[in-house]
Amino acid sequence: MADGYRILWEGGEGELIEKKSRFIATTQPVSTEEEAAAFVERMRKKYWDARHNCYAYVLGEQGRVQKCSDDGEPAQTAGRPMLDVLLGDGVRDICVVVTRYFGGVLLGTGGLVRAYSAAVQEGLKHSKIIEKCPGRQVEILTDYTDLGRVQYILARMQLAVTDTRYTDRTEISVMVPERDVGELTARITEGTGGRARITAGDPVYFGVADGGVLLL
């Protein structure tokens, strides 16, 4: 599996005014070029009376699928700067459309680049971005005498506990980044003198949002 990378989880909208021109940046999670194209078309219909609806998107684990459009603005003044912001932020599986309502004052090429870049940054501020991380669901079966030690290890490693079941023993389910599975196993084995039973599930991708674990 690939290393972790940042993805857009929930889209948002940001806005700025530059010399009376209104720039509205809207972000949307997308996983294919078809989804990105459909989102751009929806924004064009929503803002049908705007002079420009420029866009950029980045898709895939390595961010290799990229596309942008100036939509009538001077070449390299809108779409490319927008794409550069997404690439600089390291976020993928995202499409952003910046809608411009012309305010009657020309901004010049430098002004357009700054305005479109700043608009995307505003859109990202109002979006929810999470880390998509490879990991495994790990089950830890332990006696009550070792429970405090196990909980201490999980807290020190800042791992997300997804469930705890109490019977004659305690079974803890925890989502663990792939890179930390070996370390967790070693720490718990040492900390409990080998008494705890540890079982790692199949590889998955997960993220954490609003304090909860999301399977991606």
Looking up residue 80, the CATH number of its domain turns out to be 3.30.230.30
Tokens, residue 103: 């305010």
126, 145, 167 - which closes a domain:
126
Q: Pick out the chain residues at pLDDT < 70.
A: 1-2
Question: pLDDT of 145-170, one tens digit each?
Answer: 999 999 999 999 999 899 999 999 99
pLDDT of residue 4: 85
Tokens, residue 151: 């909980």
pLDDT of residue 203: 93
Together in a domain, 171 and 68: no
pLDDT of residue 21: 95
Q: How many structural domains does the chain have? A: 2
Which residue, 187, 190, 147, is CA-closest to 166? 147
Together in a domain, 16 and 120: yes
Would the pTM of this model clear 0.85, i.e. be above it?
A: no
pLDDT of residue 20: 94
pLDDT of residue 213: 85
pLDDT of residue 92: 96
| CA dist., res. 80 & res. 213, Å (int) | 34
Together in a domain, 143 and 121: no
Domain that holds residue 75: 5-126
pLDDT of residue 2: 58
Together in a domain, 153 and 207: yes
Together in a domain, 89 and 16: yes
Cα 47 to Cα 18, 42, 106, 125, 150: the distances in Å are 18, 9, 21, 21, 55
Together in a domain, 122 and 60: yes
pLDDT of residue 158: 92
Together in a domain, 115 and 138: no
